[in-house]
Structures are given as C-alpha cells and as structure tokens.
A and B are shown apart, each in its own frame.
Chain A
C-alpha cells in the first residue's frame, strides 16, 4: 500500500516551499511509486487542517496522522518515510 503524504501550507509561508522540495526529492529518491502525496492549502481546507491538529505551517501528515510541524530536517523525514515503506513495517 502506498504511503500517503500531505504537506499543509499557506500563502505567505516561506518555509513551505522548502518542505515541499525536500519531500519531492525524498520521494523520488525512495521511489515515487511508493508515495501518494498532495499539498493542502490550509485556506482551502481549513476544517480538515483543524481536524488534523495543524497549528502552524509547514506541517506534514503521513498516512492521515500529523507527524511534523515546522521545519523538519531531511534526515528526520527520510527516516519517517523509510519506516513505512514495504518491507520495513513490523
């Protein structure tokens, strides 16, 4: 099953673009076929963002669960994604 990644961003959020780029390069590195990802504009989906518990941007949810808020290092993201790839799950 694909890993579902969502990046919550908002207009005026300078570090959102950076988070998006990091995620894009990571998913390419690990095989984009394993991932299903989308960018969520908080202003378009405010109810969903609140329901997910987003309080700041950028925020990243993996498989429907908010896992990172604010700037996150590439290594931390890589580890979080790797753990969910097929063959890595317990």
Chain B
C-alpha cells in the first residue's frame, strides 16, 4: 500500500460492493481477508488491494464456489508460483467450470441478441416473441 492509496471505511465498502458489514467482518474472521488495517481508534480501513480481493470473492461466489474453495483460490492469487499441488489442481478445475459457464452465458447472450434483432424494426410489438409464447402455451396445453 502506498500513502496515496485512498482508504474506505467498512460502511463505504459495504455500500460499494453490495455486501453487509457483518459479511465483511466475517470474511476477515475466517481469514478470507487478511487482517484489515485499522486507525489508532480501531476503525477498519480498506485499501485497493482489499477491494480487489473482495471483488474476487464475490465473483467466485456467483460461480457457487464454496468459501473453502475460494480460500484456496485466494492462496493461488497471492502466490501462484509456490502453492501446493492441490491448490493448483483446484484452480485448473475451477477454471474449467468458469469456461463452461462462460460458454453457456455466451450462448444465452447470443440467443437474446438474435431475438432482439428479429424484433427490431417491428412497429407492432414483437411477433417473434409472441410466436414463441404461443408455441409454449400450446405445448403446455398438450
């Protein structure tokens, strides 16, 4: 950390990242976040590096990784060249999961883009979506 690093208090971080202050304290308690710097009066101060780590945790949680797995991935993030083989192997396996998820998301995005493009230019609502909806209703009725 440098002296030019701007620090944030726990309430600001909670608001910025959409996390509760309890969650932030809990992450520190279970060592997902190293002991946060504090002012002489004990107020927590979060720096850029802490925010980066917290954002990583958030992203990993969106992938449904467990806190234990996230802890291991954070070790890899801290010191990629000196981690245990199990951590390296876990990272490779989680990367594969992310790749698969990414492929699914890309496909979903492309499908939505295609449907939106088909609707574009239609003044009378969206015939494409209506047709899909009526096909689904027909299927449900069967």
Contacts and interface: CB of A to CB of B under 8 A. Distances in A.
B100 interface: no
A13 interface: yes
A12 B107 CA distance: 23
A50 to B, nearest CB: 5
B56 to A, nearest CB: 31
A19 interface: no
B127 A12 contact: yes
B112 to A, nearest CB: 10
B118 interface: yes
A56 B128 CA distance: 12
B132 interface: yes
Contact of B122 (A12, A43, A55, A57): A12
Contact of B110 (A10, A13, A43, A55): A55
Interface residues of A, number: 15
Interface residues of B, number: 13
A43 B114 contact: no
Nearest to A51: B107
Say what secondary structure dominates the interface of chain B. Answer: helix
A57 B110 contact: no
Given A43-B131, A43-B132, A50-B107, A13 B114 contact: no
A50 B127 contact: no
A53 B111 CA distance: 9
Nearest to A49: B114
A30 interface: no
Given A10-B128, A12-B127, A46 B118 contact: no
Interface of A: 10-13, 42-43, 46, 49-51, 53-57
Given A10-B128, A55-B110, 7 more contacts: A11-B131, A12-B127, A46-B111, A50-B107, A50-B110, A50-B114, A54-B114
Q: Which 5 residue pairs spanning A and B have beta carbons closest together?
A: A12-B127, A56-B117, A50-B111, A50-B110, A10-B118
